[in-house]
């Protein structure tokens, strides 16, 4: 095993109505992550550049979507290049006219876009995400900042198959941009996702009121053994950090060899509609 070590920082923030002010705020937090935490890789929350508009049924909000060369990702690329850091930035992406996604952009130290992950499970219970953007269709993993890194986004986390797919695809670190209200099961769920996959798990949430919602903060970084190594509260903006190592994921997977013991040949029920399974009515 070749060791890799990255100083990961995550930003917990609230977003107002002004795009430029939100981007400026994110920039200030990213610069603090570099100067105060010696960050190599910084992750900002889901939809950090806009308020969470998907709580309202008003299709005019599609005007807030941006392409990859829009002002938000352009600024994040400039910051990555200036500070020689990786940045994961998640926005309401316009791929083409009438085609939108919830997309995490992986930006390398030279400002290049290594790749992107598009949210596979847009939420549609309290929120109205499904009327605004399309779902993604795969779980990519990137050789990124010296580690194998993948992502799930917010509601994806409630489907254990999502994080497992990223881990099976090779991720040692799973970053998780969030825009979620406070959840009673939040902390235990994040610890479980790290532990069951032998991977670093880094949920990065919005915080405070936006419209009719109040976001729950509680961002954290969990190691592959399920230990919380850095954590924010549920009401403050700020930055947390931790040193993420390949050796920790390697050791956790040797100690708990879940990839050896998996039985995908028996998992058809979780990949099949119930009406297609004999004996299920």
- Write down the domain spans for the chain: 5-276
* Residue 25 annotated as catalytic: no
Residue 277 has pLDDT above 60, yes or no: no
Segment 218-275, tens digit of pLDDT: 999 999 999 999 999 999 999 999 999 999 999 999 999 999 999 988 988 888 775 5
CB-facing half-sphere around the CA of 48: CA atoms within 13 A: 34
Please report the sign of the dihedral spanned by the C-alpha atoms of residue 133, residue 218, residue 138, residue 124.
negative
Of residues 278 and 133, more confidence is placed in 133
Residue 5 bears catalytic tag: no
For the stretch 39-53, pLDDT in tens is 999 999 999 999 999
Choosing from 25, 116, 119, 148, the catalytic residue is 119
Bridge partners of 12? 238
Fold topology of 5-276: Nitrilase/N-carbamoyl-D-aminoacid amidohydrolase (3.60.110)
Give the mean pLDDT of 10-18: 98
**Rg of the chain, C-alpha, whole Å:** 18
* The one catalytic residue among 108, 154, 206, 210: 154
**pTM given for the model:** 0.95
Note if 145 is an active site residue.
Answer: no
Judge whether residue 126 has pLDDT over 90.
no
Active-site option among 46, 66, 94, 129 = 46
Q: From CA 215, how far away is CA 157, in angstroms rounded? A: 16
141-144 vs 207-210, strand pairing mode: unpaired
């Amino acid at each position: 095993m070749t060791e890799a070590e990255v100083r990961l920082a995550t930003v917990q923030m609230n977003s107002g109505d002004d795009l430029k002010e939100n981007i400026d705020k994110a920039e200030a937090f990213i610069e603090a992550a570099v100067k105060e935490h010696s960050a190599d890789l910084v992750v900002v929350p889901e939809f950090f550049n806009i308020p969470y508009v998907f709580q309202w049924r008003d299709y005019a909000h599609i005007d807030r979507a941006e392409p990859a060369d829009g002002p938000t990702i352009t600024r994040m690329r400039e910051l990555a290049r200036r500070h020689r850091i990786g940045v994961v930035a998640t926005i309401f992406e316009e791929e083409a006219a009438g085609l939108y996604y919830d997309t995490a952009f992986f930006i390398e130290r030279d400002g290049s876009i290594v790749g992107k992950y598009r949210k596979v499970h847009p939420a549609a219970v309290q929120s109205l995400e499904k009327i605004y953007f399309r779902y993604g269709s795969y779980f990519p993993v990137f050789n990124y900042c010296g580690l194998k890194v993948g992502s799930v986004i917010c509601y994806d986390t409630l489907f254990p198959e999502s994080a497992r797919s990223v881990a099976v695809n090779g991720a040692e670190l799973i970053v998780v941009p969030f825009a979620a209200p406070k959840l009673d099961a939040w902390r235990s769920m994040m610890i479980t996702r790290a532990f069951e996959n032998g991977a670093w798990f880094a949920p990065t949430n919005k915080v405070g009121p936006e419209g009719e919602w109040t976001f729950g903060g509680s961002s954290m970084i969990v190691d592959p053994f399920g230990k919380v190594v850095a954590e924010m509260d549920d009401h403050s903006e700020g930055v947390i950090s931790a040193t993420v190592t390949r050796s920790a994921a390697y050791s956790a997977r040797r100690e708990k060899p879940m990839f050896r013991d998996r039985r995908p040949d028996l998992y058809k029920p979780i990949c099949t509609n119930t009406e297609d399974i004999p004996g299920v009515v």
